[in-house]
Amino acid sequence: MSKARNDESPKQRRTQKERADAMRQRILDATLYCLAHDGYAGTTISRVIEVAEVSRGAPVHHFPNKNAMIAAAAEQLARQLYIQLGKAISKLEASDDRLHELIYVCWKDIFKQPEYVAMNELLQASRRDPELAKIMRQLWIIGVKVVFDGADHYLEPIDDKFEISDLMILTQWVIRGMAEDLHLMFNEKIFDRYLKLWSQILAQHIKAREGINTPPPRPDKWDHSLLADE
C-alpha cells in the first residue's frame, strides 16, 4: 500500500467527473495508508490531508465526516483483499501439497500485507465504536460468504466428518490470530512451521481441487455499494 501520489500529467485532460473520482480515490488511498502506518487513532482528517497532499476542503467535498470516509475506505479495503485473494490463487502451480500452498499463499499475500494491517486496525477500533462496528459487521458477513464460496470453489472433502466451510472459517481465525502476533516474532519461520502443521491436520479431511486457479465467486452487490442498505 503506497502513499498517495499525483500522477496526472499537465497534458492529460479529464472530465470533471474523472477529476472528482480521482480526488476521491486519492483521499481513500491516503486513508488506507494512514490506517496501515499510523493506526486508527492516527488516521485523522489532518493526517489524511497531509498524506494525500490535497487541500483542507477536499475531504469534506467528498465525505460529510470522518466516519463516512472510513466507511468508504473499509469498503474499498474489502474489495482489495478479495482481488488480492484471486491474484494469489492465480499464482498457484501444480504441487503435491496444494492444500498447504493454498493456505500459505493466503498468509503471505493477504494476511502479511499492509491492506490486512489496515483492516485489523478497523476491526480493533470497532470494539469501542458502535458506528464502525456496524460497518465492519456488514463487511464481516460478506467476508464469511466469500470464505464459504471460496471453500466450495477450491476444495473438496475427503470424508464427511466436517463441513469444508466450517474448516475454512476456523482456518481464517487461526491465520488472523497469527497475524496478531506477527510484530512480536524475531523469526517468521515459526509461522511457516505452524501453517504446515495446520495444513496437515486439514489434509485429513479436505483436499484442494485440481486445476482450479481462478478467483472465487464475486461477493453479492459487487457492482454496487457493499454497504448499501437492503
pLDDT digits (tens, 9 = 90+) for 41-91: 999 999 999 999 999 888 888 898 888 999 999 998 888 888 888 887 777
In terms of Cα–Cα distance, which of 202, 190, 182 is closest to 117? 182
C-alpha cell at 102: 493454498
Cell 492529460 -> residue: 12
pTM metric for this prediction: 0.80
Give per-residue pLDDT as tens, 175-203: 999 999 998 988 888 999 999 999 999 99
CB 80 within 8 A of CB 116: no
Give residue limits of the domains in the chain: 1-63, 68-230
Cα gap 171→169, rounded to integer Å: 5
Number of CB atoms found within 10 A of residue 102's CB = 24
Q: Distance between CA 197 and CA 195 in Å, rounded? A: 5
CB 195 within 8 A of CB 104: yes
Q: What is the three-class DSSP state of 193?
A: helix
Q: What is the CATH number of domain 1-63?
A: 1.10.10
Could you tell me which residues are beta bridge partners of residue 126? none
Is the pLDDT confidence value at 92 over 50?
yes
- Helix (H) / strand (E) containing 208: strand 206-208
Please provide the CATH number assigned to the domain covering 68-230.
1.10.357
pLDDT in tens, 101-126: 889 988 998 899 999 999 999 999 99
Question: What is the b/e burial string over 33-49, where b = at least 16 CB atoms within 10 angstroms of the residue's CB?
Answer: bbbbbeebeebebebbb
- How confident is the model at residue 95, as a pLDDT? 63
